[in-house]
Amino acid sequence: MKISFKLIVILIFWVNQFYGQSHYQGQHLDKFTLQDKLKPLAYSFDLSDVRLLDGRFKENMLREQNWLLSLSTKRLLHSFRSNAGIFDANEGGYFEVKKLGGWESLDCDLRGHSTGHLLSGLSLMYAQTGDERFKLKADSLVSGLAEVQKVLNQDGYLSAFPQELINRNIAGKRVWAPWYTLHKILSGLIDHYLYCNNPQALEVAKNMGLWAYKKLQPVTQEQRAVMLRNEFGGINEAFYNLYAITGKKEYQWLAEFFYHNEMLDPLKEGKDILNKKHANTYIPKLLGVTRDYELEGKGQGDSIATFFWNTVINHHSFVTGSNSDKEKFFKEDNLSEHLTGYTGETCNVYNMLKLTRHLFTHTADVKYADFYEKALFNHILGQQDPQTGMVAYFLPMLAGAHKVYSTPEDSFWCCVGSGFENHAKYGEAIYYHHENTLFVNLFIASRLNWKEKGVQVTQETTFPNSDKSTFTIETTQKQPFILNIRYPSWAKQGAIVLINGKKINVKQSAGTYIVLNRIWQNNDRVEVTFPMELSAQATNDNPDKVAFLYGPIVLAGEMGTENMISPAPYSNPTLYNDYYTYNYNVPQNLIKKVGIDKRNLANEIKSLEAKTLIFKTVKDGIILKPLFDIHRERYVIYWDLK
């Protein structure tokens, strides 16, 4: 049978269209009606295709599971049911339910946001593990939210607070971020539809969107300009995703309505206007812009997002990959003046990592994977307290500060909400693929099922405690494909690669990919070693204010527990802004200066124990260890050189 060249071209076109449909984390292609016009250079795997193996990341994930399952569904729905006036006679009325505290209190404008985040966390955890408990709990939340939406009977409106908060926002009156909260609920519903295949979640989300369309149609351009100054999270991204799933123009209109000209237009001209801007208000706006670019394949969306990303990473970020001081960006490169107890908001890192994943799929540029590793290992991994599973709002850069954790039922800050997601999706950025190429971006013990190729890849590693990772290929038949293993920019001492025990010549250099192009057979093994070394990274504005790293891992000095609150450094959960009122009581005699020649670190800092990443400074006798391993004690990240 002969197939014409024209027919082949048509077939290739439609195959490309299909595989270009979804940039919703590069997954769930069958659930999107619209076809992304952008043709990326890398695609994510579905989260369900990656399973974590034993290691530090899996330990964090297991602790997160306990927290997700411990929170009562009735308590999470209480504020929603109260808003709808739903009375449960079997429970003695809704006032008998034990209420959540902090940002979920009934007098807080943001009440309900945690339920949206938790819905996302449960859905992600189900995809990451396949454990039905997470799907069933999320199903019950969706069922409860659907009931509230029906009882409210307000054209699809759904929230834990009345529409009066929305009206105040439209009128330009003072209110705390109602669209931000609706974004979390809407995103949770979309996540549950995509990861758990629950059609009811999509129906509730669609109804929310149709309400918003009707609500915002009469808003004038003048009103719109004022209301968009209020934080609205990434609701533009959520509406673009709803548009991509359904194809309905109402959702596209909504997404475009939330384009914030005042904040985004200067980026088109390459202007850095970040100084004093609220960082977590700013970053999600770029996610919507990026999503629009992916769907339409035109405009300046990619260049805007790329300029923003480069600006934040190169001029506004600390050595950990985090940014901001008291939640706000500061003057470019002015890092040494902002080493306070309120730096490094976790939500900012969460959103920067989301943006990083999108930009990586556009170009497959290794710099995005390098940053992802930096922020994941040095911030997200250490955000969680190993004893309790609670999470930190900030990662303080203040010398002598310590991490301040949430409480199980009485905090519910924004970073608690994003924390529900952070530790449920570690598998999302380890591997990517494109046509006949497999990318390995992160060194995390895991197992990949590349279904399209009939190939499984098992990555065994204890990185960063070891500089070696081993990949075992399993396949029922020989498979030709390219294995691209990230050659990290920090690996200045080279790389050692063995295939089935035989050393091969590595032609690439740090900051690229090691390209292994061969016909792979069952049980082929690739061993990769990237020797790590000590390095010093100074703040952009002060060459004598430095942090020390081992490979990509930020090392911090242990400074004990003098003057710390006992038994645990929790904040006061009765205040909404307790993370700002927290007094670190840093001892006056705390060591902040070290006698180290940063040009000769190998002789100035010595390893104490192999495979533990514990070091000691020779002159001052200070113990250094990974920041992600320091909990419930003081630390120093940035040092003054004597």
Q: What is the DSSP string of 259-301?
A: --HHHHHHHHTT----TT-BHHHHHHHHHHHHHHHHHH--SSH
Would residue 485 be called left, alpha or beta, if left means φ above 0 and alpha means ψ between -120 and 50 degrees?
beta
157 vs 278: CA distance, rounded Å: 28
Domains in the chain, CATH or no CATH each: 43-426 (1.50.10), 432-529 (2.60.40.1180), 534-641 (no CATH)
pLDDT of residue 576: 54
Torsion, Cα of 342, 626, 629, 113 (10° steps): 40
Torsion sign, CA atoms 201, 203, 205, 211: negative
pLDDT of residue 38: 80
491 by DSSP, 3-state: which? coil
pLDDT of residue 96: 66
pLDDT of residue 300: 87
Within the chain, which residues score under 50 in pLDDT?
A: 1-23, 94, 567-574
pLDDT of residue 572: 47
pLDDT of residue 581: 72
CB 455 within 8 A of CB 475: yes
323 vs 328: CA distance, rounded Å: 8
The three state secondary structure string of 62-125 is HHHHHHHHHCCHHHHHHHHHHHHCCCCHHHCCHHHCCCCCHHHCCCCCCCCHHHHHHHHHHHHH
pLDDT of residue 12: 32
The three state secondary structure string of 20-71 is CCCCCCCCCHHHCCCCCCCCCCCEECCHHHEEECCCHHHHHHHHHHHHHHHC
Phi, psi of 297 (to 5 degrees): 65, 25
Phi, psi of 525 (to 5 degrees): -125, 135
639-641/50-52 β-pairing: unpaired
Residue 553's contacts (CB-CB under 8 Å, 6 or more residues apart) are 377, 378, 464, 532, 613, 626, 627, 628
H/E stretch holding 206 reads helix 199-216
